[in-house]
A and B are shown apart, each in its own frame.
Chain A
Amino acid sequence: MSIIPDKPPFKLLDILYKKEFILFVVLVSILIINSNISPYFLDLYNLIDSTFLFSEKAIIALTMTFVIIARQIDLSVASIIAVSSVVLGYTTSLGYDTWLVLLLTLLSGALCGAFNGAIITKFAIPSIIVTIGTMSLFRGLAYSFLEDSYYNKFPKLVGKLGGGYLYGYIPYAFLTFILLAFVFAFILHKTSVGKKIYSIGNNPDAAQYTGIAVDKYTFVLFTLNGLFSAIAAIFLSGRLSSVRPNIAFGWELEIITMVVLGGVYIYGGSGSILGVVISIFILGMLSFGLGLLNVPGVGIIIFTGLLLILSIGFPSFVRTLRRKNE
């Protein structure tokens, strides 16, 4: 009788087959190509400033990773940003204290997320359809409240958070993202909460039978996603220093691209924070590099779309071919 070990023995070769490793190779080659093509790429200040382009999305991508691993999806995040930004602007215009403004902004995001979670769990409706609905509803609420006007006055702290640097070097948004990434990686990979989220994503029914409160987890994850959208809204409003109802339009797709490109399976159950973080840097450095080469934003959009499809399509195509040969 052989003993089955708890963990497979560690082999160096196994690392080469890991998704994260492939992603890392892609990232490094993008960095090398970019720095060869453009002399401005490897400038420290430029690189630091380029993080402004993706930090807010990256913050939401962390909770979105949890949501997708739990076999759900949230298309309403960009609309929640719109709602929270409007709340931020409105409460500021009422002259509330900074801490109250921030509290209400965060609360509005969490409430929107909880609304999603409540409908999805109470009525057992697929999240893709519910969040298509709330995507219109939330964005619509922002439009009907603000109409064609805008807010451009925010507490000083918000402006500092959105556009400022810690010690003059590290942007607050980027710093927040990195710290949160460590926290989320810890929760997902080292705690029982993370294990439960994986098992919900692998088989919700089985998870329910083993005593995991699937609905409670789903509800909390959507609430968290809303809360993080509000955090992103604070950074974004501070950076743009102007809020219109069309703020962050189309971001939900970019955020989902970050997560899926990072190797998180769209039907749940697998993926890692490390993969998502690397994919965030891939997309960020790619658009920064292409931007330096004066490639218009559209080129980046097409490239991202292709990358998204091929990153999933190519491996599964190779797998099918191999199976046929056998």
Chain B
Amino acid sequence: MKKILLNRDFILFSIILIILIAVGFANPLFVTPKSISDVLTDTSILIILALSQMIVILIRAIDLSVASNLALSGMLISLLSTVHPELPVYYFIALSCVIGTILGVLNGISIAILKVPFIVTTLGTLSIYRGLIYFVSDGKQVYSNEFSEDFLALIHVKFLSLSFLFWLAVLVFIVIYILLNHTRFGRNLYSLGGNPDAAKYIGINENKYIIMAYSLSGFFAGLCGYLWVARYSVASTQIAIGFELTVISACVVGGISVMGGVGTVLGCVLGALLIGLIRNALPAVDISQFWQLAISGAIILLAIIINTKTEQRKEKTIMVEN
């Protein structure tokens, strides 16, 4: 019992519940099923990106280029849809994923083959991908009336009165859960992050895993490129600017250790949900939008401090047992 109570996923879940109840008292409208399903829809893209970022963070790296990747893939398919509105929506989704994957592979190659540290690589591609959007679009926006109906319709499909976005996030959660917990790929990722040297000695090809992790991150960034553009029905040079930090905070709050090799898929989703909930709850309790950034910053700091404290305590126990 004590184990369950101290489990960090459980603690996160309780915090989410407490916030929901507290906000519910202040503003009962916020806890209606309709409103909660809106929050879930609103958080779905964050959940998908946090899960794919988690794969990268597990091997002691970070992908800062996801938001630029998302925006570039989204812009490219939007431009294509203005020229060829007759193409089916699945074609655009597939294309967006392919573009995202290519951009991710480029990151991976730079890190694994050219040996450019991940911070430098993804900081660089963060600017390059963002800059390319201006080039391909000439700085113009693609507005909602320029998309084909088909392009925007899929995102509004509902199943059991929950949105397409939400169900997609659930699907991604299941896929990544299986990938990380029940495949050799997942186990190897954890061991590479936990102890890279030991992992190399038992024959794990580090470079291969770096490139694969970044291409997965790119794939989901590409997927979210379509989702973002379709959901807000606008593609511009500015979309998702700075969103990479929100994604990383979701991972950190969810207990994914930036030191690598530690973190659960469920925790990651809960972290994303907590951040999404707070972003949506602030207006409901009449806290100015301007406070949002400061509050998320404070939450990230608190989460990291708590994470590190618990990790350090665990290390101590291990040392005593030995």
| A residues neighboring B (CB under 8 Å) | 73, 119, 123-126, 128-130, 132-141, 143-144, 147-148, 245, 253, 256-257, 260, 266-267, 296, 298-299, 301-302, 304-306, 308-309, 312-314, 316-317, 320
Contacts and interface: CB of A to CB of B under 8 A. Distances in A.
Interface stretch (B155-163, B244-252, B266-274): B244-252
B126 A305 contact: yes
A313 B308 contact: no
A316 to B, nearest CB: 4
A130 B301 contact: yes
B128 A302 contact: yes
Interface string B117-156: 1011101111110111011000100000000000000000
B292 interface: yes
A267 B117 contact: yes
Contact of A305 (B114, B124, B249, B290): B124
Contacts of B62: 128
Given A126-B259, A296-B134, A313-B110, A132 B300 contact: yes
14 contacts: A123-B304, A123-B309, A129-B304, A133-B297, A133-B304, A136-B294, A143-B290, A144-B288, A147-B288, A256-B123, A302-B127, A302-B135, A308-B124, A312-B116
Contact of A266 (B114, B119, B298, B312): B119
* Residue in A133, A306, A313, A314 with the greatest tally of chain B CB atoms within 10 Å: A133
A132 B245 contact: yes
A78 to B, nearest CB: 12
B258 A126 contact: yes
Given A144-B291, A299-B131, A129 B258 contact: yes
Contacts of B127: 253, 301-302, 304-305
B179 interface: no
B293 interface: yes
Given A143-B290, A298-B135, A308-B123, 11 more contacts: A136-B296, A137-B293, A138-B297, A140-B290, A140-B295, A266-B119, A266-B120, A267-B117, A301-B131, A309-B110, A312-B116
A323 B172 CA distance: 42
Nearest to B111: A313
A136 B245 contact: yes
Nearest to A253: B123
Contacts of A140: 290-297
B113 interface: yes
B58 to A, nearest CB: 15
A319 B309 CA distance: 41
Majority secondary structure, A binding face: helix
A141 B258 CA distance: 25
A87 B237 CA distance: 32
Given A144-B288, A305-B124, A305-B126, A125 B294 contact: no
Interface string B281-313: 000000010111111111011001100110010
A140 B128 CA distance: 26
A312 B120 contact: yes
B114 A124 contact: no
Contacts of A139: 293-294, 297
Contacts of B308: 123-125
The interface centre, meaning the residue of B110, B259, B300 with most chain A CB atoms within 10 A of its CB, is B300
A137 B297 contact: yes
Contacts of B120: 260, 266, 308-309, 312
Nearest to A319: B115
Nearest to A260: B120
Contact of B290 (A134, A147, A256, A301): A147
Contacts of B290: 140, 143-144, 147-148, 245
A137 B113 contact: no
A131 to B, nearest CB: 10
A144 B116 contact: no
Given A309-B116, A320-B115, A133 B249 contact: yes
Contacts of B135: 298-299, 302
B125 A313 contact: no
A98 to B, nearest CB: 29
Contacts of B288: 144, 147
B304 A136 contact: no
A125 B119 contact: no
A148 B290 CA distance: 8
B304 A125 contact: yes
B123 A133 contact: no
A309 B294 contact: no
A317 B294 contact: no
A73 B120 CA distance: 12
Contacts of A306: 124, 128
Contact of A309 (B125, B292, B305): B125
Contacts of A128: 62, 119, 258
A124 B119 CA distance: 20
Contact of A119 (B248, B292, B296, B305): B305
B242 to A, nearest CB: 9
Contacts of B249: 132-133, 136
A134 B189 CA distance: 29
* B125, B258, B292, B294: most-surrounded residue (chain A CB, <10 A): B294
A320 B292 CA distance: 47
B294 A144 contact: yes
Contacts of A245: 290
A282 to B, nearest CB: 16
B116 A143 contact: no
